Amino acid sequence: MGTTLVYGQKNNTIWMDDLSIRTFSEGIPAVLAKTSGSGEAIRMKGITYSRGIGVNGTSVLSFLLNGNASAFSAVVGVDDMGMKGLPYRFYVIGDRKILFESGDMKWGDQPRMLNVNLTGIKRLGLLVLVEQGITKTYSNWADAKFIMKDEQMPLNIPNTDERIILTPVAGTQPKINSAAVFGARPGNPFLYTIAATGERPLVFSASNLPDGLQVDAKTGIITGKVLERGVYTVTLKAKNSSGESVKQLRIKIGDTIALTPPMGWNGWNSWARAIDQEKVMASADAMVKMGLANHGWTYINIDDAWQGQRGGKYNAIQPNEKFPSFKQMTDYIHSLGLKLGVYSTPWISSYAGYPGGSSNLEHGFFPDAVRDNKRAFRYIGKYSFEKEDAMQMAEWGVDYLKYDWRIEVPSAERMSVALKNSGRDIFYSISNSAPFSNVKDWVRLTNSYRTGPDIRDSWLSLYVSAFTLDKWSPYGGPGHWNDPDMMILGNVTTGSPLHPTRLTPDEQYSHVSLFSLLAAPLLIGCPIEQLDAFTLNLLTNDEVIAVNQDALGRPARLVGEENGVQIWLKQLENKEYAIGLFNIDGYTKTPQSYFRWGDEKPVSFTLDLTKIGLKGKYTIRDVWRQKNLGEFEGTFNTGIRHHGVVMIRLTAHQSTKH
């Protein structure tokens, strides 16, 4: 920081790399201070810069200046470690006006110096545009600095929009919220919990259960084993002093599990490497105490950093010292009616530097030298241990495996076979950035496959992760789900210490709506015990969840985009439909669209039902408000907030023919 005196006013030089720069970034890979996106020194055209910010991919940096800045300067260009032949474009945008545009720049081009007058500018955006989906596209804002008035500093764009709770509070009467279908393999342990709201105590029952299953009347937990293949129609009941709820459940005993997307929690975006047994058990307790389990939330998934050395009767990965009683922990989670997930990788070292599923040593020992140089061991070793690890997981009672990182088909197949032969139904999820070219293999081998990079709590990341999934939609369905990654609600640790999600309230409604329409896995990515009333309400709307858990299992399709509004249509069972109308406001269409300027307004939108193939009369219901809006034919008009959504469910009138 430096100080100058201009016309009696003290001006401060604020270097951008002295700021907590990650808090200003909406990019997907992390931005790095005084370092290029590759982790090396900032270097362009052979010149090394000691100061600046390195970015990777499309980068969005937003600053609140409130007229307290007079200038911004930097040297911009492609890092010497960047991608050759790819066009990069740099923008400086103030209050919606483009103040600097680089034009196309490529690797090897001379860096460009810029000095922009910021007098009177309230909001500033720094944007680097490159083709989405390409990695290692390193570029730089070298020697980047602001000239600020007096003692002022660049600030974060505020996220202070009112957090309006739309969903009514559940009543005292019982209501069963479980999905209408559940799959298990013959002879494997069966665990299913009847999810129900209503004043406790509830008394549960399940009539016409197949031989081998029994229900606990106090908890609604159904356990046992079913030997005979078939489809069994079971009548579930939940009763209290206020009334009774009845729902039909189809139990399908066969080769396919995961007939609806999984719902649960993953610990990475909550605790990252700091996860331990105490935090996992506290999360399971919170899943029940906060009432999430009553709405169908089931999985408690441990991500990376639980793994210790190989051992035990299978010579499998054992828990490290942070998990002293792994089997007892698993049994406790099952006693709550919940399920447990773990993480592994076919690599020698996991992403976080813990033992993986292969080794260059015959017995799989994990030396300290590997941990100390983990990046060098992110590959598949000479010896693989899929069968051993799968058998150990089954013996512990594990219900879910997240298999990381950028899995290729042979590794996916080896673990798929091992899990199916383990004697337990273990949901199999591969992560991340599964190549679309192999989608038919992912459908054949896995229960879910990550369709893109790790998600971050920004609209850019949500857009890339979810709003671009239409091409994947035909492949998702019962037993194999398109996975855009964890949910970015509540307090998250994506790229910086634990902080409230940077999605606006309207963006959060869009987030949950689109994930539900896409039939995506719903995995909470924040500490459950820290959920506030607004976030808990987002996660416990049973009509929204029902769209996600619909037994037809058909992901929504993008059927239109008009006037900045995307129309996503999902066919449901019983010839019903769910529609999401998302006001994306032309996002990605202009450089200005990547930023929030504080003057955004709702839009009025008219949906032409006939254009999307829905002819006739429909009863339309607002699923967030759980309120019927009336009968409509031909068109439906509504207001939609900026980056917000109107999510509706359509039931055909008796006179409507399909």
Active site residues: 404, 454
Reference 558, options 590, 540, 584; nearest CA is: 584
Report CA dihedral (314, 318, 324, 325) to the nearest 10 degrees: -40
Contact present, 402 and 423 (Cβ < 8 Å): no
Provide the CA 158 distance to its chain's centre, in angstroms.
23
Contact present, 297 and 263 (Cβ < 8 Å): yes
State both tokens at 398: 């594990």
Element at 101 (helix H, strand E): strand 97-101
Element at 627 (helix H, strand E): strand 627-633
Distance CA 270, CA 377 (A): 26
β-pairing verdict for 221-224 and 190-193: antiparallel
Distance CA 57, CA 31 (A): 10
Contact present, 89 and 95 (Cβ < 8 Å): no
Reference 486, options 524, 516, 458; nearest CA is: 524
Residue 205 is classified by DSSP as E
Distance CA 494, CA 200 (A): 37
Q: How many residues does the chain have?
A: 658
Contact present, 388 and 315 (Cβ < 8 Å): yes
The secondary structure of 134-187 as a DSSP string is ----EEEEEEEEEEEETT---BPPP--------SPPP-SS-EE---SEEEE-TT
State both tokens at 77: 């260009």
| Single-letter residue type at 320 | N
For residue 217, count other CB atoms closer than 10 A to its CB.
15
Distance CA 9, CA 24 (A): 27
Contact present, 106 and 80 (Cβ < 8 Å): no
Contact present, 528 and 283 (Cβ < 8 Å): yes
Burial class (CB in 10 A: 0-12, 13-18, 19+), 658: exposed
